């Protein structure tokens, strides 16, 4: 494929046209259309050929998405499968084998496989490298025992990305391995964790003698920290960027301000404009960051995006509650629900205010992300870590 700009645009236009000519979006089931789109290399154009992509710059994806949106074509289930699309897929594409790419990426994109993330544990949240869930080799399989927590969407998932300890005698960062797990394994138990909103989108997951084929191991044994870091960097970019102008939380606030004359206090206008400008600066920074990522995997800069997202979501939702007066204090629906997707903006101002409290924890706590930015982006001296070279089994817990 000629990678000159004009040639790429022509090739993409041709591929989109052929896809629409052979699969009418109005009559083709969504999963079938998405499968055909994947096969045409239009799922993630920057992914390798044959695995949903064409091996070209990620910046060309917008052209494909826009053309298919105009035609009324279905898109992947981003709200239900954000972990799969935003985290598992780029990790598998970058570090999986060709066999794993062929086996996992297509059903992930079509929505046949919804993913969850089995990373955090009760004793290993911010310090992810301290995970204790154990994976022991048994021939061509691994037997896994342990507990995970704060697992978004586990109750809807068919697959999971898992970090487990395979070598307790190695330092904590060196003894981890990364796997793809079948969530239908009989050794997996999922329990809801009720949140401040009343919902239970989070879960704790117990793994008892869960068997994972070695063919589901991503990268080398002991290389799990590097693979997990790839996943986390993609997660932080996915959480912290991607909304259109006045999308997400700031869009809800702007709509509220325009629609309700009672909240338009002139003394509050300065705060509203400051929040709007901050959100727009973050959006534009995210666009620039994604452009820089077109030729490779995201780096630590994504941590700054996620930091900004969490701070702004809490400030904006708090201001929305403030201008709502007594109406903002009402929260009428605290029933236990098991939603199919994570909804950051939610049903009303009260919900948004409560849900935003978790933004500074999920996807990496703000405290840890400040360390990442300080050390890996700004080049400041790292914190002293006394456990860096100590075997995990010898660490106090």
8 A C-beta contact, residue 105 and residue 84: no
Pinpoint the alpha helices (H) of the chain: 5-22, 30-39, 61-70, 82-83, 89-95, 98-110, 224-240, 248-259, 269-292, 301-324, 349-355, 366-372
8 A C-beta contact, residue 200 and residue 338: yes
Direct distance between the N- and C-terminal alpha carbons of the chain, in angstroms, rounded to an integer: 54
Buried b (16+ CB within 10 A) or exposed e, 366-376: beebebbbbee
> Whole-angstrom Cα distance, residue 334 to residue 117?
26
- For residue 184, CA distances in Å to 96, 148, 158, 200, 340 come to 22, 16, 7, 20, 17
> Whole-angstrom Cα distance, residue 303 to residue 358?
16
8 A C-beta contact, residue 36 and residue 22: yes
> Annotated catalytic, 235?
yes
**3-state SS class at 162:** strand
Burial bucket for residue 168 (CB in 10 Å: 0-12, 13-18, 19+): middle
Structure token pair of residue 110: 């079509």
> Whole-angstrom Cα distance, residue 306 to residue 286?
10
- For residue 160, CA distances in Å to 87, 129, 252, 309, 333 come to 11, 18, 32, 25, 30
> Whole-angstrom Cα distance, residue 334 to residue 214?
43
Catalytic residue among 141, 235, 301, 375: 235
Which positions are annotated as active-site residues? 235
């Amino acid at each position: 494929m000629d990678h000159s700009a004009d040639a790429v645009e022509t090739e993409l236009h041709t591929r989109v046209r052929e896809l629409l000519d052979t699969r009418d979006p109005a009559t083709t089931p969504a999963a079938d259309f998405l499968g055909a789109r994947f096969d045409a290399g239009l799922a993630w154009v920057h992914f390798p050929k044959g695995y949903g992509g064409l091996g070209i710059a990620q910046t060309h994806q917008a052209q494909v998405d826009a053309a298919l949106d105009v035609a009324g074509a279905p898109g992947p289930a981003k709200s239900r499968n954000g972990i799969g699309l935003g985290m598992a897929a780029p990790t598998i594409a970058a570090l999986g084998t060709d066999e794993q790419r062929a086996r996992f990426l297509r059903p992930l994109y079509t929505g046949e496989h919804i993913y969850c993330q089995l990373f955090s544990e009760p004793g290993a949240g911010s310090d992810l490298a301290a995970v204790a869930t154990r994976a022991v080799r048994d021939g061509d399989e691994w037997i896994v025992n342990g507990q995970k927590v704060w697992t978004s969407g586990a109750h809807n998932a068919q697959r999971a990305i898992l970090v487990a300890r395979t070598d307790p005698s190695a330092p904590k960062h060196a003894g981890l391995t990364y796997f793809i797990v079948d969530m239908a394994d009989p050794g997996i138990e999922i329990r809801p964790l009720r949140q401040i909103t009343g919902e239970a989108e989070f879960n704790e997951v117990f793994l008892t003698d869960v068997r994972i084929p070695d063919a589901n191991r991503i990268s080398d044994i002991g290389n799990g920290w590097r693979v997990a870091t790839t996943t986390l960097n993609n997660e932080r970019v996915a959480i912290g960027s991607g909304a259109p102008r006045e999308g997400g939380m700031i869009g809800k606030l702007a709509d509220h301000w325009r629609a309700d004359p009672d909240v338009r206090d002139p003394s509050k206008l300065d705060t509203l404009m400051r929040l709007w400008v901050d959100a727009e600066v973050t959006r534009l920074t995210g666009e620039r960051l994604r452009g820089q990522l077109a030729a490779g995997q995201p780096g630590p800069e994504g941590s700054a995006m996620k930091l900004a997202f969490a701070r702004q979501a809490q400030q904006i939702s708090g201001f929305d509650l403030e201008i709502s007066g007594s109406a903002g204090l009402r929260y009428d629906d605290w029933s236990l629900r098991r939603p199919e997707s994570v909804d950051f903006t939610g049903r009303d101002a009260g919900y948004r205010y409560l849900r935003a409290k978790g933004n500074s924890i999920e996807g990496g706590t703000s405290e840890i992300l400040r360390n990442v930015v300080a050390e890996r982006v700004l080049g400041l001296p790292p914190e002293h870590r006394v456990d860096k070279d100590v075997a995990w089994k010898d660490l106090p817990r």
